[in-house]
């Protein structure tokens, strides 16, 4: 479930970026007043701006919702694995006894 939400989150983020880049700035509206610009577009002179801004607002809302959902899911997962607040007491390790290995003694003369 976590991976599905991450994939949706990334796709929403890319969608928001794409819609923001397709929108024109406020300075581009001055050209439409003199007969140039997007007055002959599919959405009309103001239709494209409202459509793109509404789409951006919807995608941004969904993006923030998935962000909140991922944060909640991540906080629940990390609460179970928190080692600082809930330390695990380790059992003492068993003493490993190595077999005695005879050390060769050089001939003392």
pLDDT digits (tens, 9 = 90+) for 42-82: 555 555 568 888 999 999 999 999 999 999 998 887 655 65
**What's the Rg (C-alpha) of the chain?**
33
Instruction: Name residue, tokens 């993006």.
Output: 63
Identify the pLDDT of residue 96: 66
Share of the chain above pLDDT 70, in %: 56
Q: Give the pLDDT band (50/70/90) at residue 91.
A: confident
CB atoms within 10 A of CB 56: 18
Q: Which residues contact 48 (CB under 8 A, 6 or more apart)?
A: 38, 41, 42
Identify the pLDDT of residue 57: 93
Identify the pLDDT of residue 55: 92
Identify the pLDDT of residue 14: 96
CB 85 within 8 A of CB 24: no
Who wins on pLDDT, 15 or 52?
Answer: 15
CB 49 within 8 A of CB 23: yes
């Amino acid at each position: 479930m976590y991976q599905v939400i991450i994939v949706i989150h990334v796709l929403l983020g890319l969608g928001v970026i794409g819609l923001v880049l397709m929108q024109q700035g406020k300075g581009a509206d001055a050209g439409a007043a003199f007969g140039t610009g997007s007055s002959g577009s599919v959405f009309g002179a103001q239709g494209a701006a409202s459509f793109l801004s509404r789409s951006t607002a919807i995608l941004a809302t969904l993006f923030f919702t998935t962000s909140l959902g991922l944060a909640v899911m991540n906080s629940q997962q990390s609460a179970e694995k928190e080692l600082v607040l809930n330390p695990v007491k380790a059992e003492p390790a068993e003493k490993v006894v190595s077999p005695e290995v005879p050390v060769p003694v050089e001939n003392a003369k």
